[in-house]
């Protein structure tokens, strides 16, 4: 029982590189538009498969070309997409991303078909070791998934991104919470006993029932930070499903996150032999 189930978003990423971000009301020149697969849920599912995980995904796309692009990309990575619905009417979710010369990014997301994902779309959680959730899906669906997974004995891994109001009961149904420092500060006190607070180039801090374990990051030259948080979360999920402790899972995840920022795009590419050796990673599917 080491399957990971992702209930989350699938988006088409529209990416433009520019030297710097524009100020309010300003226009700046950018490079060519690049359209690729993305969405926090899809990014996480692809990364899990490429790290050797047994992964299935629940989500929704439209009937447009973006939907075909994203769903096919997730399937090609080795993810079970049989529960990714194709909706008639709404467009596939879209993320408009700007990346500057320092590899930082800004992202605006239009949810599209992701907003139609409902509790009725959820499968049974029997045989699922870990469920991962983020907040790009409807909050009611996220809560329903967490509640049902907790009742089935599945470990619920929640990422509060993009940060917003948290439904009553969601944190109570969460086993492991993954947030960045900004999200942690906004959230404040919470009832989750096991947390990972990511700190970018400073690594992360794991807390289990009051015991803090700092985990250092690897020093790398970043190329594109888009999707690095999703790759980190994916690595934590895969290693928890394999039986690792949370600190050990986080130690692996910081190496995956370091690899993710050295390559372009929101979805983790296949782990080459060189990358596997440099970052200490296990290759999954190509």
Q: For residue range 184-200, what is the model confidence (pLDDT) as tens digits?
A: 999 999 999 999 999 98
**HSE of 197 in the Cβ direction (CA atoms, 13 Å)?**
16
Q: Looking at domain 3-22+32-279, does it have CATH number 3.30.70.2190?
A: no
Tell me what the mean pLDDT of segment 155-178 comes to: 94
Write out the catalytic residue numbers.
230
Predicted pLDDT of residue 198: 95
Between residues 161 and 116, the one the model is more confident about = 116
Band (pLDDT 50/70/90 cuts) for residue 168 is confident
**Whole-structure pTM value:** 0.89
12 — phi, psi (to 5°)?
A: -90, 130
Question: CA-CA distance, 228 to 242, in Å (whole number)?
Answer: 21
Q: Which of 177, 175, 180 is nearest to 229 (CA)?
A: 180
Element (H, E) at 274: helix 273-279
Predicted pLDDT of residue 160: 94
Sequence-ordered list of residues with C-beta below 8 angstroms from that of 39, at least 6 positions apart, any chain:
8, 9, 10, 11, 13, 59, 70, 93, 95, 114, 136
In this predicted structure, the answer to whether residue 265 has a pLDDT above a threshold of 80 is: no
Could you write out the DSSP letters of every residue in 130-186?
A: EEEE-TTS-HHHHHHHHHHHHHTTPEEEEE--S-----TTTGGG-SEEEEEHHHHHH
- Helix/strand/coil (H/E/C) assignment for every residue in 81-104: EEEEEEECCCCCEEEEEEECCCCC
Tell me what the mean pLDDT of segment 263-279 comes to: 78
Question: CA-CA distance, 95 to 26, in Å (whole number)?
Answer: 21
Predicted pLDDT of residue 281: 83
Distance of CA 14 to the CA centre of its chain: 17
Between residues 73 and 228, the one the model is more confident about = 73
Band (pLDDT 50/70/90 cuts) for residue 286 is very low
- Segments making up each domain of the chain, as ranges: 3-22+32-279
Predicted pLDDT of residue 183: 95
Q: What is the mean pLDDT of the chain?
A: 92
Q: Which of 122, 168, 85, 167 is nearest to 7 (CA)?
A: 122
Lowest-confidence region among 82-91, 95-104, 128-137, 246-255: 95-104
Predicted pLDDT of residue 284: 55
Predicted pLDDT of residue 144: 97
**Radius of gyration, CA atoms only, the chain:** 18
> What is the layout of strands, in order, in the sheet containing 211-215?
80-87, 54-62, 3-7, 128-133, 155-159, 176-180, 194-198, 204-208, 211-215
Question: CA-CA distance, 270 to 286, in Å (whole number)?
Answer: 5
Question: CA-CA distance, 256 to 247, in Å (whole number)?
Answer: 14
Question: CA-CA distance, 270 to 102, in Å (whole number)?
Answer: 24
- Give CA angle at 115 (52, 188), nearest 5°: 75
Measured N-to-C along each axis, helices 65-76 and 40-50 cross at an angle, to the nearest 10 degrees, of: 30
């Amino acid at each position: 029982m080491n399957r990971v189930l992702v209930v989350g978003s699938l988006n088409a990423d529209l990416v433009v590189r520019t030297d710097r971000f524009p100020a309010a009301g300003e226009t700046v020149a950018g490079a060519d538009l690049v359209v690729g697969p993305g969405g926090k849920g899809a990014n996480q599912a692809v990364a899990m498969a490429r790290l050797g995980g047994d992964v299935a995904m629940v989500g929704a796309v439209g009937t447009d070309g973006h939907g075909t692009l994203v769903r096919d990309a997730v399937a090609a990575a080795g993810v079970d997409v049989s529960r990714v619905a194709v909706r008639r009417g709404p467009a596939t979710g879209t993320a408009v991303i700007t990346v500057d010369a320092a590899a930082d990014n800004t992202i605006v997301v239009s949810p599209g078909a992701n907003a139609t994902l409902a509790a009725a779309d959820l499968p049974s959680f029997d045989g699922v070791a870990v469920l991962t959730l983020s907040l790009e899906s409807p909050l009611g669906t996220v809560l329903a998934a967490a509640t049902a997974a907790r009742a089935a004995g599945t470990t619920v891994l929640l990422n509060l991104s993009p940060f917003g109001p948290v439904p009553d009961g969601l944190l109570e149904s969460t086993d492991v919470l993954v947030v960045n420092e900004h999200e942690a500060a906004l959230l404040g006190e919470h009832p989750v006993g096991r947390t990972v607070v990511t700190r970018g180039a400073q690594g992360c801090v794991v807390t289990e029932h009051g015991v803090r374990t700092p985990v250092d990051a690897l020093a790398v030259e970043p190329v594109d930070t888009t999707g690095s948080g999703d790759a980190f979360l994916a690595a934590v999920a895969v290693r928890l499903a394999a039986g690792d402790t949370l600190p050990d899972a986080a130690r692996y995840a910081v190496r995956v996150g370091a690899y993710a920022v050295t390559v372009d795009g929101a979805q983790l590419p296949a782990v080459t032999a060189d990358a596997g050796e440099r970052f200490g990673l296990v290759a999954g599917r190509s």
